[in-house]
Chains A and B, each alone.
Chain A
Amino acid sequence: MFRQYLPFTLALVCFLLYLALFAGGSSDDVQLLREGMYYEKLSGKAAQCGLCPHNCKLGDGQTGLCRVRKNIGGRLFSLVYNKPVSMNVDPVEKKPFFHFLPGSQVFSIATVGCNLSCSFCQNWEISQSSPESTKAYDVTAQQVVDLALKNGAKNIAFTYTEPTVYYEYMLDIAKLAKKNGIKTMMITCGYINEKPFRELAKYLDAIDIDLKGFTGEFYSKYTTGSLEPVLKTAKLAKEEKLHAEITYLVIPGTDDKPENFKKLAKWIRENLGADTPLHFLRFFPKFKLTNRPPTPVETLETARKIAITEGLKFVYIGNAQSEGEDTYCPKCGKKIIDRSGYNINSMNIKDGKCSFCGEPVHGVWK
């Protein structure tokens, strides 16, 4: 009996074949690409990327987990060198940096790609895209510096997506920026190997390490990375004497347990120092996690209280209105920076010290 319905099946197959015939492809022109740093050639035109802890082993024609580093004929190339997809001027508070030139403007830049695939990514439009599917600008490292100067930005931020994946571009910009007196900052998930990080740190001024959670389980369940390398990068940043701030995206019902906040604060105090600024950021439903509500402000306030109790001096709440956006002197307790969103309403820090009691305040103030 089913023989009778064979034509329907054949017709469907014909239609699907027709659709398949229209599928297109893309090719890479090696001449236009920049050869990647930190990789090792393996036998049979294979290569192993050594930039991040994934250490992707790539056969000829394969692209790494980050989508932007490709093995072409046994050589590893960056597909995004000179190819930013996003350029903006932002207030430094938006990064967030609260102890690094408050009120200053930052020239922000990003290419596509990321080496962690978080289902809650707040910048998924770029981080989860590939160079082939995204229209990019053509901007050299020198042009980035020129644009920053032209727009009156004191800093250049490598941000939005994971800057590690456009390492070569970031490094060249940072070198040129240093020559031109512009400070550079990296907003990163911290998933980078030691050697490339130490090389980069020579030219960076500040780093914001974005912790996705504080348990190995969280990282393995919700991202494609792991926690240990991130913590190691944070320690390296301290060793390299970079100005470091830590952010922690609090996703309700996943990484918002009080014991995690306590462990996190304790780890920061013991490894990075009690004056390292910590930001608890409010989560908003994004990308694939669109059905979780924003983080309750109450949860953020609890997290802040716990971190302060654990001995951290500067703990903030981001993406929500509360007293957790202001800076208080750790000695006299007076408000030394009054903020409203991105606005600096008043600042009582003089020569890096509290204007009220003279206590030195950790940070870069000019």
Chain B
Amino acid sequence: MANAPFAANLFMASGNRMGVNIIIFIVTGIFSMLSQTVLVRELMMEIGGNEIIFSVFLSLWMLLTGLGAAAGRFFSGKHGTMRTALILITVMIMLAPVQFLGIRLLAFAFSPMAGLMANIPVIFIIALIILFPGCLVSGMLFPVNCSIAGEESRTRRVYLYECLGMVFGGIIFFSLVPFAGNFQILIFSAAACFVILFIASGKRVFTAAALLFIVLSIFSEKISFAVYSTRYSPDKLVATSDSRYGRLDITEYGGQENYYWSGALIASSNNHNYAQEIAGFVTLQHSAPSNILLVGGTLSGVLEEIAKDTRVKKIDQLEIEPGIASQNPSFGREAKARFILDDPVRFMRESSEKYDVILMDMPDPSTIQLNRFYTTEFFRLAKAHLSSDKGVFAVAVSKGENFMLPELAELNKTVYSTINSVFHSAIIVPAAKNIIISNNNGYITNSAAELTKRMTEYKKEGDWFNTALILNTCNSFRIDTMMQAVSGLDAGVNRNSDPQTYLAAISLWSKKLGSNISGMTVMLKENRTIVFSTGFFMMLVIAFVAGRFRRSGFGTAYGVFSVSLASFVLQMVLLYIFQMRFGIAYFAIAAFTVSFMAGLTTGFISGPKLKLGTKTLFLAAIVIILLFGLSADIDLSAAFYFITNILIACFAGVILSRFAGNSSDDSGISFYFPDMLGAAFGGIIAGAMIPLYGTLPCIYFIAALLSVNIILRTTYR
């Protein structure tokens, strides 16, 4: 006993072996969560993408893990020994850095040119190759862990401790990310996990593994820098820094600095023409623009151009990422400029500042994160910050130089109609980007003659922004083309609960990749009733077939599948609504994920003790979901969303614990596989349904999906 590992002593109540087991389960959870977060984050940065790609990655992860669990039954039962578990967990941890490096290697192999967008099949193939080995091993661990978990409630116990490990994993990642890069976090965590495994098991091989990773962690910064450097070759990577929001990479080529945010190019140091054009056209829309707010575009050079205007006294630059703000040449140097580090949604809600001009120069709303700055709710918040009716609100959106592609026209159309739903008048200036300019008193103009007159009057002429440019930009052909593109009765308004602009941006993105989905999205949107009816019919078919298989446990499988799917989708919906209303997106992801896992764990622990029947639990869950649906459009406090998130997770935990307890097989696969499958479908459904139909139909769909369980349990009890 004197030599017994310290941690194992902590679990003496349940026996030494049991204590080691619990540590293995928790470490499995910790490292699964860490490697999932790091690898999915890295995949997103390397091959780009939006929430749909993110959903696909997560779904793929769940699906492969589920398949791993199914394959793992060969290692369960009498083969499922502690030794097998320790080997598998070692392989899982060892694989993660290889997977990390493999992402870069594959992206390089599949891309013929630096900076080229990867096609959808390529994205899928890379993700599949990268995720497959790790997920397979991680999945295999579940049945093996079940085999060593003891005789009673083994599935429930393993699931519970893995969930607990995931909570720790989430906390560890978000605590380390401000100080370390993805690779460093992975290496450091691997070393820590091996140390824990050594303490728990006393096996010396883990000391060697821990030492190897400790040595690696010393060089991890240099390794990750070298890996990222190859991504930008022939540009020279001069700096890289991670934060909770993403990663900022700065490269240098031909004397020019280029800025990449989470892998995507956001700006370069020489933006002279662009900056002059945007600043010129916007400031000419106000007779005395004294106080200006710039939202985004921190490195575009627009601030410096506006600062040259003698009429301008103060410029506030709103930027969420301190690393980007500090790269602005005016940061700490330009007397007129003040940098506000905050989320735009939160700033607009909490600040009382008033501005003559608000200019939004953000990337297009190709992600849900960005879409929240293009909604009617955000525009209303911005309008409240205008100093008077003369106040100008302008948004710069991508345009086609000589033609408006239908998908691009749709994107502009939704932004234009959303602005029109908030302001009295709106015009378009088809400059370097389409600048949609609005106010409430009509001073705004896109007449070339009037703009030329104002340019002279306000002494705004520059070497690029001049009469010829104004004539070229605002000639009748270009203005008419743009107005035709954005006008129309069918223009949708972009709302928090119905992200029309995001959907248009997704169509545009798919068009670039050669997969035209706009026709399909229109069809799916127009035939909403048919789609939902078909979905519901499919659920009934599943319920019916499930009944046939009940004797072999399919009723439980369907229950687990639907609960897992529902909780995943609801978590996404909650997170989505929360971010739309309160911003602070990345903190929210961390907080929601960790609190969800904590709620799930709590529910799982308390599930067996609750006296309520499973059917009653389902009914209660559906009522709560419907009540949440009814409140979705009400402006509620942030706490409401966290409480709802935890409540839903608790319900899911309680119900899942019942199913886990009922799981008849020793390997736990009949529980774990549908759980993973449900989460995989949940990811796909959330990624597709939110942009297509908005949040409310998602909620009703989930409620309907869960209600099938009541029918099932009534019919087949």
Q: Find B402's partner among A18, A22, A123, A294 (CB 8 Å cutoff).
A: A123
Bound state CA distance, A256 and B235, in angstroms? 13
* B401 surroundings in chain A (CB, below 8 A): 122-123, 125, 160
Decide if A8 touches B512 in the complex (CB within 8 Å).
no
* B233 (CB) vs chain A CBs: closest residue: A253
Shortest CB-to-CB span from B63 to chain A, Å, is 11
> In the complex, how many angstroms separate the beta carbon of A124 from the nearest chain B beta carbon?
8
What is the bound-complex CA distance between A123 and B408, given in angstroms? 13
Chain B positions within 8 Å of A294 at CB level: 256, 268, 270
Which of A151-188 touch B at CB < 8 Å? 160
Using an 8 Å CB-CB cutoff, how does the interface string of B267-284 with A read, 1 for contact, 0 for none?
010101100000000000
B648-675 with Cβ < 8 A to chain A = 669-670, 673-674
B404's partner among A122, A125, A343 (CB-CB below 8 A) is: A125
Contact segment of A35-43, A65-73, A282-290: A282-290
- B277 nearest in chain A by CB position: A341
A24 neighbours in B (Cβ, 8 Å)? 519
Decide if A321 is an interface residue (CB 8 Å cutoff): yes
Q: Which of B190-198, B219-227, B464-472, B607-615 contacts A (4 or more CB under 8 A)?
A: B464-472
A22 touches B523 (CB 8 A): yes
Q: Which residues of A contact B630 (CB under 8 A)?
A: none
CB distance A19 to B520 under 8 Å?
Answer: yes
Could you say which of A18, A125, A133 contacts B400, with CB atoms under 8 Å apart?
A125
A89/B475 in contact, CB under 8 A: yes
A87 interface residue per 8 A CB criterion? yes
Q: Which residue of B116, B408, B463 is within 8 Å of A341 (Cβ)?
A: B463
Specify which chain B residues have a CB less than 8 angstroms from the CB of A285 in the assembled complex.
Answer: 115, 265
B402 touches A293 (CB 8 A): no
Q: How far is the CA of A14 from the CA of B405 in the complex (A)?
A: 33
Interface residues of A in 208-249 (CB under 8 A from B): 221-222
Residues of A within 8 A of B527 (CB): 22
Is the CB of B516 closer than 8 A to any CB of chain A?
yes
Whether A291 contacts B115 by the Cβ 8 Å rule is yes
Contact, CB under 8 Å: B472 / A91: yes
A110 within 8 A of B: yes
B546 partner, pick from A7, A122, A134, beta carbons under 8 A: A7
Report the Cα distance A344→B471, complex, angstroms: 13
User: Are A87 and B542 neighbours in the complex by a CB distance under 8 Å?
Assistant: no
Q: A4-B553, A5-B673 are in contact. Are A319 and B273 (CB under 8 A)?
A: yes
Q: Are A90 and B70 in contact (CB under 8 A)?
A: no
* Chain A interface bracket (under 10, 10 to 19, 20 to 34, 35 or more): 35 or more
Q: Is the CB of B516 within 8 A of A133?
A: yes
Q: Is B179 an interface residue (CB 8 A)?
A: no
Contact B235 A110 (CB under 8 A): no
- Say yes or no: A2 contacts B70, CB within 8 Å: yes
A140 at the interface (CB under 8 A from B): no
A15 lies within 8 A of chain B by Cβ: yes
The answer to whether A125 and B405 touch across the interface, beta carbons within 8 angstroms, is: yes
A85 to B409, CA, bound (A): 14
Q: State A11–B535 Cα separation when bound (angstroms).
A: 9
Q: Using A4-B553, A288-B512, A294-B268 as known contacts, say yes or no to A343 and B466 having CB atoms under 8 A apart.
A: yes
A293–B401 Cα gap in the complex (Å)?
Answer: 18
Q: Closest Cβ of chain B: how far from A283's Cβ, in Å? A: 10
CB of B403 within 8 A of CB of A85, answer: yes
Cβ of A350 under 8 Å from chain B = no
Residue of B nearest to A112 (CB): B403
- The residue in chain A whose Cβ has the minimal distance to the Cβ of B522 is A22
A293 → chain B, closest Cβ, in Å?
4
Kindly state whether residue A295 has any CB partner on chain B within 8 Å.
Answer: yes
Q: How far is the CA of A145 from the CA of B172 in the complex (A)?
A: 69
Roughly how many angstroms separate A14 CA and B538 CA in the complex, as a whole number? 8
Q: Give every chain B residue within 8 A of A221 (Cβ-Cβ).
A: 112-113
CA distance A71 to B477 in the complex (A): 34
A291 and B264 in contact (CB under 8 A), knowing A2-B70, A5-B557, A342-B468? yes
**B403/A18 in contact, CB under 8 A:** no
A317 to B405 Cα, complex, angstroms:
29
Question: Min CB distance, A346 to chain B, in Å?
Answer: 14
Nearest-Cβ distance from residue B267 to partner chain A, whole angstroms: 9
Residues of B239-293 at the interface with A, using a CB-CB cut-off of 8 Å, are 251, 253-256, 258, 260, 263-265, 268, 270, 272-273
**B265: which A residues are within 8 A, CB to CB?**
285, 290-293
A1, A11, A22: which contacts B669 (Cβ < 8 A)? A1
Q: Is the CB of A126 within 8 A of B403?
A: yes
Closest to B665 in A: A1
Q: Name the distance in Å between B504's Cβ and chain A's nearest Cβ.
A: 14
Q: Which residue of A lies closest to B520 (CB)?
A: A19
- Judged by a CB distance under 8 angstroms, whether B478 is at the interface is yes
Q: Which residues of A contact B524 (CB under 8 A)?
A: 19
Per-residue CB contact flags for chain B residues 510-529 toward chain A (1 = under 8 Å, else 0) read: 00110010011001100100
Inside 8 A of B102's CB, which chain A residues have their CB? none
Report A1-35 CB contacts with B as 1/0, cut-off 8 Å.
Answer: 11111111011001100110011100000000000
Contacting residues, chain A, for B469 (C-beta < 8 A): 341-343
A1 touching B542 in the complex, CB below 8 Å, given contacts A290-B115, A291-B115, A340-B466? no
List A contacts of B463 (CB < 8 A). 321, 340-341
| CB pair B256 A287 closer than 8 Å | no
Chain B residue contacts of A321, Cβ below 8 A = 272-273, 463-464
Whether B554 sits at the interface, judged by CB under 8 Å, is yes
Inter-subunit contact A222/B113 (CB<8 Å): yes
Among A6, A15, A253, A256, contact of B534 (Cβ-Cβ < 8 Å): A15
Question: Contacts of B403 on A, CB cut-off 8 Å?
Answer: 85-86, 110, 123, 125-126, 160
A298 adjacent to chain B (CB < 8 Å): yes
Residues in A whose Cβ lies below 8 Å from that of B233: 253
B512 touches A287 (CB 8 A): yes
**CB proximity to B under 8 Å, residues A102-160:** 108, 110, 119, 122-126, 129, 133-135, 160
Q: Which residues of B contact A8 (CB under 8 A)?
A: 542, 561, 677
B627 on the A face (CB < 8 A):
no
- How far apart sit A319 and B274, CA to CA, in the bound complex (Å)? 10
Chain A positions within 8 Å of B513 at CB level: 288
Contact status B677-A5, CB under 8 Å: yes
B256-A293 in contact (CB<8A): yes
CA distance A87 to B478 in the complex (A): 9
Within 8 A of B (CB), among A297-334: 297-299, 319-321
For window 461-505 of chain B, which residues contact chain A by CB distance below 8 Å?
Answer: 463-469, 471-472, 475, 477-478, 481
CB neighbours (8 Å) of B673 from chain A are 5
Q: How far is the CA of A23 from the CA of B519 in the complex (A)?
A: 8
How many Å lie between the Cα of A88 and that of B477 in the bound state? 5
In the assembled complex, A94 has its CB within 8 A of some CB on chain B: yes
A160 proximity list for chain B (CB < 8 A): 401-403
| Set of chain B residues within 8 Å of A341, measured between Cβ atoms | 273, 463-466, 468-469
Contacts A290-B117, A291-B265 given; does A296 touch B545 at CB 8 Å: no
Given known A-B contacts A22-B523, A135-B406, A293 and B235 have beta carbons under 8 A apart: yes
A321–B34 CA distance with the chains assembled, in angstroms: 48
In the complex the two chains form, is B235's CB within 8 Å of A1's CB? no
Q: With A123-B401, A296-B253 in contact, do A11 and B70 touch (Cβ < 8 Å)?
A: no
Q: Does B326 count as interface, using CB distance less than 8 angstroms?
A: no
Min distance, Cβ B671 to any Cβ of chain A, angstroms: 12
B332 within 8 A of A: no
User: 10 tightest A-B contacts by CB?
Assistant: A296-B254, A292-B115, A291-B115, A342-B468, A296-B256, A293-B258, A7-B545, A343-B468, A125-B400, A125-B405
Q: Which residues of B contact A (CB under 8 A)?
A: 48, 70, 73, 112-117, 233-235, 251, 253-256, 258, 260, 263-265, 268, 270, 272-273, 400-406, 408, 463-469, 471-472, 475, 477-478, 481, 512-513, 516, 519-520, 523-524, 527, 534-535, 538, 541-542, 545-546, 549, 552-554, 557, 561, 669-670, 673-674, 677
Question: Given A7-B546, A341-B273, 5 other A-B contacts at CB below 8 A?
Answer: A18-B534, A88-B477, A90-B472, A91-B471, A252-B235
Could you pull out 11 A-B pairs where Cβ atoms are within 8 angstroms? A5-B674, A14-B538, A88-B478, A123-B401, A252-B235, A254-B113, A290-B117, A293-B256, A319-B273, A340-B464, A340-B468
